[in-house]
Amino acid sequence: MASNKVIHALYTDDDILMNAVKKVRAAHHHIEEVYTPFPVHGLDKAMGLEDTRIAITSFMYGCLGLAVAITMMNYIMIEDWPQDIGGKPSFSYLDNMPAFVPIMFEMTVFFAAHLMVITFYLRSRMWPFKKAENPDKRTTDDHFLMEVGIHDNEDELKQLLLDTGAVEITVTEKEG
C-alpha cells in the first residue's frame, strides 16, 4: 500500500533551494513537486526532469501557419480575384511570391505563438475557473516549497531537509 503522506519543506532563497534539491536527490528521495514564485534557472535539471518536447509542436504550428498563408494567398490573389496591382500581373503564385513573403512570415509566427499558448495552458491543465493547486500561498510571493514523498523514512527525511536549510517543515496528506 502506497503512502499519501508528503513533506512540505519551505525555503526562503532560490540558491538554498537548488542545493537542497541536489542533496535530496543525491540521498535518493523522490521529489514530487517544487513550487516557486518565479522560474528558477536549472531547477528542472536538478530535479532530473526530462527535456520538454513542446518546441516540436511549435515548429509544427509554424509549418501549419505557413501552409495556411500560402493556400490563402494563392486562392485570394491568384485564383479567386486576380488584380493588376502596381503593374504586377497575377498569373502565377511563384511570380508574385516575393511580395507574399511578409504575409507568410507573419502567419507562421501568428500560428506558432497563439497555438503554443493554447497548448501550454492545456498541457499545464490551466483552464478558466480552475482552483489553484498551490499548497502554500507564500510560494506566490517569496517562499519556495519542495514536496517530497514519505516512504517509511519520515524522521530521516525531516532531518535531511532541516540540514539543507528548510525554514519550515510540515507533513501532510497529498490530495488526489
**Cβ 149 vs Cβ 32: under 8 Å:** yes
Q: Where are the alpha helices (DSSP H) in 74-153?
A: 93-123
pLDDT above 90: residue 8: yes
pLDDT above 50: residue 1: no
Average pLDDT over residues 108-129: 92
Q: What is the pTM of this model?
A: 0.70
**Cβ 139 vs Cβ 145: under 8 Å:** yes
**Cβ 102 vs Cβ 96: under 8 Å:** no
The reported pLDDT for the residue numbered 112 is 97
